[in-house]
Amino acid sequence: MAYSIFPLSRHIEDVIDDDYDVKPLQYFYGGWYVFKSYPVAFLSVAFVFSLVNEALSHLFSTPSFSGSLRTELFSTLPLEMARLCLFHGVEALMLVCTAVMAWQRLDNRPLSLITFLKDWRSAGLVLVCGAAVMTLVAWTPIMFMTSLPFVGGALAARVTLPGIIVLSLIGVALFVYVMVSYAFAYFVLIDRKDGIWNALEGSRRVVHRHWGKIGGLMLLFMALNVETYCLLGSALEMVSPSLGFNWLCMADMAGGQGALVLLMLTAIGRAISGCVLAVAYADVYGVPSA
């Protein structure tokens, strides 16, 4: 697979006007081809960024929701939102680094991130863009989790079950829409270098025509993401605590083995997803210049 099979870089308006198609399964094949050509390099990058997020999770531990309502609303919740936005910014940077390497592989160039990482402005914009995207959706899972009765915080005492259900539905709908619509935003940002807002709009307007197919592609990414199964295990644990679904997150492993296995599985899923999305971008938007 080489760049010759992809169209040349096109203006956003031309991409929108053209009758382009989205081929999720072909993108997966192409992404897998790129990944397996240099698996150690892609896994190393993904693993390093996963370690960074793991370190941040220990540095910025989850706050305790046990103060007054005023404290939770104006201190605890904003801090938790900032923490999630920082994590997502690092994830966005990892995705972009993986994509840059994938484009280099497609162009038969040596794999190197030195040029990209030396451009602190571009790397910083990706970090800020990732945080900005998460800002749109971070409040919903936080509000949901802090509203659960067993949390015992001031907010939990004031939210009813119907309120939790409504909040959850709003959160899921908003999360899905944002994640699908802005799937290519980080790539547009580093490829076109036209600012964060134009990158977000450049992704949303292009994705809009084939939102369902891009959504299917993102659904396949979720299947590759080990965190999906961790969230599933947590949800099942809430519904039926007696059944015990900790094995979905390997929580029963001792000596930090579970955390190491999760980090490795997360790195594999992130690396393959980044390669697949990079191939999809090259097909839809044209050969990137990054």
- Digit-by-digit pLDDT tens for the chain (290 residues) are 555 567 777 788 888 887 778 888 889 999 999 999 999 999 999 999 988 887 887 776 655 555 565 666 666 677 777 777 888 889 899 999 999 999 988 888 888 888 888 888 888 999 999 888 887 776 555 555 554 544 445 555 566 667 667 777 777 788 888 889 999 999 999 988 888 999 999 999 999 888 998 998 888 887 777 666 565 555 555 555 555 545 445 444 444 566 677 778 888 888 999 999 999 999 988 877 65
| Structure confidence at residue 1 (pLDDT) | 57
Length of the chain counted residue by residue: 290
Pair of tokens at residue 259: 């955390």
| Cβ within 8 Å of residue 101, ≥6 positions away | 38, 41, 42, 45, 111, 113
Q: Return the pLDDT at 41.
A: 92
Closest CA to 142 of 82, 92, 225, 182: 82
**Chain Cα centroid distance, residue 207:** 16
Q: How far is 135 from 276, CA to CA, in rounded Å? A: 25
- Distance between CA 36 and CA 34 in Å, rounded? 6
State which H helix or E strand residue 46 sits in: helix 39-59
The reported pTM is 0.81
255: exposed, middle or buried (Cβ count in 10 Å: 0-12, 13-18, 19+): exposed
